[in-house]
A and B are shown apart, each in its own frame.
Chain A
Amino acid sequence: MTRSLTLRAAVVSLLFFAAFVLAWHLATRGAGATVAMDPEYAKLMGATATQGKSAMPGPLDVAQTLWGHLKDPFYDRGTNDKGLGIQLGWSIARVGLGYLLAVLVAIPLGVMIGMSPLMSKALDPFIQILKPISPLAWMPLALYTIKDSGISAIFVIFICSLWPMLVNTAFGIASVRREWINVARTLEVGTLRRIFTVLLPAAAPTILTGMRISIGIAWLVIVAAEMLVGGTGIGYFVWNEWNNLSITNVITAILVIGVVGMILDQLLARATRAVTFPE
């Protein structure tokens, strides 16, 4: 029964996809009005103006561009023109670094807050105020103080992935069942040992859920950050093609960003499943 459900779902998915592509194709077929033009003048004009071609590319254009990028993802034609693969590599490296730093800060801090009701209460106002700030609002301040756009982008990733992890870790640690902690206390387990053998394993599913939320946010933010500072990365690629009003390339990049985001999310989802335990 489940098998047939999966199969049916796949068929429905495909149908939706086909309908979407067909509608897209029909909408962009380009039957706009053409105006009679002097041939000399027409030569100086773009296809949108001369043939009434839609400014929006059709699915076939996008497929073609996508194929072109996939065929040669690592080309390097100078500082400002690199292949999609290289751009993605830059973005993933930035996200990876910022995220890793956030993990290193958020989990120890979260454990501390979770274990101490005093700290939890004392730090709460700061966390509540800092948490809802859009990471991009930090950008000008980061650029001004750090004085390096590459590190600023990493800092923005760090700050945006920090809060979900911190809050989830603190919550996870604080809600470990009292009996388990009491058992540990009865057995006279030291603080460090208690953290590593009781608290962290018990809170792991919650912590990993926080990490999963964070990686999603980090990937959302990197695109915007790179559009702002430019240079390299998938966000820069989008900006550069937007500059050329090349919607085809922008759509291609959007697809790729979606796929990479999904992969990152699935990785964390797997890790979450691995540490989940039945109560």
Chain B
Amino acid sequence: MSLFDDPFRSDRRLTAGCVCGRHASQIEHDHAAHAQTLQLQQQAATTATASEEERYQGVVASAVMRAMFPQDAARRAFLKSVGASTALAALSQIFPLGTATEIFAQGAALEKKDLKVGFIPITCATPIIMAHPMGFYAKHGLNVEVVKTAGWAVIRDKTLNKEYDAAHMLSPMPLAITMGAGASPIPYTAPAVENINGQAITLAMKHKDKRDPKSWKGFKFAVPFDYSMHNYLLRYYVAEHGLDPDTDIQIRAVPPPEMVANLRADNIDGFLAPDPVNQRAVYDGVGFIHMLSKELWDGHPCCVFAASKEFVTTAPNTYAALLKAIIDATAYATKAENRKAIAEAIAPANYLNQPVTVVEQVLTGTFADGLGNVQKVPDRIAFDPFPWSSFAVWILTQMKRWGQIKGEVDYKAIADQVFLATDTARLMKEVGLTPPTATTKSFSVMGKTFDPAKPDEYVASFAIKRS
């Protein structure tokens, strides 16, 4: 039963089976119990209203009833024989329900108010960054310090060190950390996707006429990190055009700020990078935008908001408030009319440290492409917090395809463990959004449909692969 049900109804089950009886396994039970705790504590954290007090009372009463009648059958028999109102009266005589409810409401306060959240200065971090100057953290009772960080490896280490409570990461990173690829395995979660689309392939000006990937043999490309959507999309793109990304071209991990400088210095021929790096290359006249990542896969995730499993379990209220602030900010960023204001809020030196016009071109989608045209693509970058578990499965198939993970992979289990779609759906509802009802969806990458139910067949279907 839900915690908010009336425990004084005999036709409801409070407890049964293992611990609660509703789940096939203990793990499943723990997960649901955790989600439930989150849910009620989250609701407790919001300002108390009359209806919420009633709800608390229900929560406390069911806890007391459960303690008194560990056997659900006994409770039901008891209620049937004396009636619900008598039972309530009897119960309040021996147990101060009112006091307990009050204590519960106070106990659900935030465990921690001062938080540190790390970010990399790119537009993917827009929700995390803008929530600071635009007051979304404050709205949910948090005092968050957003800390600019030098690179992906550093942000990973600082989050693992607990210097940061949560951080902006590339969507494959929490998966890689959880599985211990490129780091020691630590359970990690990605409860919200920050942005979808918003990347691009930029080429040096001298390659103006080489728009066909087949002519790219020997090119040197930069991507922000090995475990990044950028790496997988670039590999996917060139492989679809018959080039082997490991032998026909060179792919290097280069921190985003150094990409433009390297392009200018002619060290690389192009990059698949997050914005504002692409637009900055155009702005400085060193490169042109070959194609937006949206043309490869419309609606692909890029970066996520990530937190350790430990933070989620030890500070559930804080975690929920933080995630709500992020979802709230993401919802605000979704609206095209807000984008200009956001660009102005996040461009200063304290955040992205970029000229406002560069950030504005990225967020509004009206941009110079470097070839003399002004393009209008309103969904060049879009924001949608829902962490589709099928996104995680796709990422895992690519990690497998390029040999970053070896052996048998339980795609679905890892995806569900890291991409917390259920939590997000509930919190989305709380901030007034409509979450999707499913947690997986099918999509197509460069015209090839991906079925999240058949990951192994998908990996096997590629001609160029490492496994």
Within 8 A of A (CB), among B73-126: 121
| Residue A78 is within 8 A (CB to CB) of chain B in the complex | yes
- Is A243 positioned at the interface, with any CB of B under 8 Å from its CB? yes
Interface residues of A in 130-166 (CB under 8 A from B): 140, 143-144, 147-149
Q: Would B257 and A45 count as touching, CB distance under 8 A?
A: no
In the complex, the answer to whether A147 meets B368 with C-beta atoms within 8 Å is no
Cβ–Cβ contact A230 & B149, under 8 A:
yes
B185 to chain A, nearest CB (A): 14
Quick check: A228 and B349 within 8 Å, CB to CB?
Answer: no
- Among A38, A49, A240, the residue within 8 A (CB) of B349 is A240
Q: B148 and A45: CB pair below 8 A?
A: no
The yes or no answer to A244 lying at the interface (CB within 8 A) is: yes
Assembled-state Cα–Cα distance A276/B361 (Å): 64
A66 proximal to B (CB < 8 A):
no
Kindly state the separation between the CA atoms of A165 and B367 in the bound complex, as whole angstroms.
Answer: 57
Is A230 in contact with B257, judged by CB distance below 8 angstroms?
no
Contact A228/B150 with A41-B374, A144-B157, A245-B260 known, Cβ cut-off 8 Å: yes
Does B154 have its Cβ within 8 Å of any Cβ on chain A?
A: yes
A49 touches B162 (CB 8 A): no
A245 partner, pick from B161, B280, B349, B367, beta carbons under 8 A: B280
Q: How far is the CB of A155 from chain B (nearest CB, A)?
A: 14
| Cβ–Cβ < 8 Å partners of B146 in chain A | 79-80
**Chain B positions 249 through 283: 1 when the CB is less than 8 Å from some CB of chain A, otherwise 0:** 00000000110110010000000000000001011
CB of A55 within 8 Å of the partner chain: yes
Task: Check if A240 sits within 8 Å of B353, measured CB to CB.
Answer: yes
Q: Which of B146, B149, B285, B361 has the most CB of A within 10 A?
A: B285
Q: Which of the residues A49, A79, A148, A243 comes within 8 Å of B147, measured between beta carbons?
A: A79
Least CB distance from B372 to A in Å reads 6
A81 at the interface (CB under 8 A from B): yes
A41 near B372: Cβ-Cβ < 8 Å = yes
Shortest Cβ distance from residue A275 to the other chain B in the assembled complex, whole angstroms: 41
CB contacts (< 8 Å) of B147 on chain A: these are 79-80, 230-231
Size bracket, chain A contacts: 35 or more
**Contact of B361 with A80 in the complex, beta carbons under 8 Å:** no
User: Please, which residue of chain B has its CB at the minimum distance from the CB of A76?
Assistant: B350
Closest to B150 in A: A230
Which residue of A is nearest B149, CB measured?
A: A230
- CB contact under 8 A between A81 and B349, given known A44-B357, A228-B150: yes
- A:47-95 near B, CB below 8 Å: 48-49, 55, 77-81
- CB nearest to A150 among chain B residues: B163
Q: Does B30 contact A (CB under 8 A)?
A: no
Alpha-carbon separation in the docked complex, A227 to B255 (Å): 12
State the total of A-B contacts with C-beta under 8 angstroms: 101
Is B135 located at the chain interface by the 8 A CB criterion? no
Question: Once bound together, how far apart are the Cα atoms of A168 and B357, in whole Å?
Answer: 56
Q: 1/0 per residue B347-384: CB within 8 Å of A?
A: 01111011101000100001110001110000000000
Residues of chain A within 8 A of B257, CB atoms compared: 239, 242-245
B284 in the interface (beta carbon within 8 A): yes
Interface size on B, residues (CB 8 A): 39
Q: Is the CB of B283 within 8 A of A49?
A: yes
B208 to chain A minimum Cβ distance, whole angstroms, is: 13
Tell whether B340 is near chain A: CB-to-CB under 8 Å.
no
Q: A210-239: which have CB < 8 Å to B? A: 227-231, 236, 239
State in angstroms the CA–CA spacing of A38 and B282 once bound together. 15
Judged by a CB distance under 8 angstroms, whether A46 is at the interface is: yes
Contact B285 A230 (CB under 8 A): no
The answer to whether B373 touches A243, judged by C-beta atoms less than 8 angstroms apart, is no
Q: Is B220 an interface residue (CB 8 A)?
A: no
Q: Could you tell me if B121 and A243 are in contact, using CB atoms closer than 8 angstroms?
A: yes
- Please tell me if A188 contacts chain B, counting CB pairs below 8 Å: no
A102 to B139, CA, bound (A): 47
Residue in chain A with minimal CB distance to B371: A41
Query: Bound state CA distance, A49 and B264, in angstroms?
Result: 12
Q: Closest B-chain residue to A50, C-beta based? A: B285
B374 and A81 contact, CB distance less than 8 A:
no
* Contact assessment for A80 and B368 in the assembled complex, using a CB-CB cutoff below 8 Å: no
Q: Which residue of A lies closest to B358 (CB)?
A: A46
B-chain residues with CB within 8 Å of residue A241 when the two chains form the complex: 353
- Residue of A77, A79, A228 near B145 (CB, 8 A) is A79
Q: Give the contacting residue for A244; candidates B158, B354, B372; CB below 8 A.
A: B354
Known contacts A147-B162, A229-B154; is-contact A80 B283 (Cβ 8 Å): no
Which residues of A sit under 8 angstroms from B280, Cβ to Cβ?
A: 245
Residue of A nearest to B368 (CB): A44
Would A78 and B157 be within 8 Å (CB), given that A149-B163, A239-B150 are in contact? Answer: no
**A114 to B258 alpha-carbon distance, docked (Å):** 47
Contacts of B350 in A (CB 8 A): 77-81
Considering residues B349, B354, B367, which has the most beta carbons from chain A within 10 angstroms of its beta carbon?
B349
Q: Report yes or no: B349 in contact with A55, Cβ–Cβ below 8 A.
A: no
The CA-CA distance from A149 to B154 in the complex, in Å, is: 9
Rounded to whole Å, the gap between the CB of A250 and the closest CB of chain B is 11
B380 to chain A, nearest CB (A): 13
A279 contacts across to B, CB distance below 8 A: none
**Cβ–Cβ < 8 Å partners of B372 in chain A:** 37-38, 41
Q: B261 is contacted by which of A78, A229, A245 (Cβ under 8 Å)? A: A245
Expressed in whole angstroms, the Cα–Cα distance for A80 and B368 within the complex equals 29
Distance to closest chain A CB from B265 (angstroms) = 11
Task: Tell me how far the C-beta of A85 lies from the nearest C-beta in chain B, rounded to whole angstroms.
Answer: 16
Contact A228 B284 (CB under 8 A): no
Q: Which residue of A lies closest to B366 (CB)?
A: A44
Looking at the assembled complex, report how far the CB atom of A8 sits from the nearest CB atom of chain B, in whole angstroms.
41
Q: Which residues of B contact A179 (CB under 8 A)?
A: none
Chain B residue nearest to A240 (CB atoms) is B353
Known: A41-B374, A243-B121. A49 touches B284 (CB 8 A): yes
Q: List 6 A-B contacts (CB under 8 A).
A: A41-B374, A44-B368, A79-B147, A80-B353, A81-B353, A140-B157
* 7 pairs of A and B residues whose beta carbons are closest in the complex: A49-B285, A81-B350, A78-B350, A44-B368, A230-B150, A243-B257, A147-B161
Chain B interface residues toward A at CB < 8 A: 121, 145-150, 154, 157-158, 160-163, 257-258, 260-261, 264, 280, 282-285, 348-351, 353-355, 357, 361, 366-368, 372-374
9 additional A-B pairs beyond A38-B374, A49-B282, A231-B147, beta carbons within 8 Å, are A44-B357, A46-B284, A55-B284, A147-B161, A149-B154, A229-B150, A239-B150, A245-B261, A245-B280
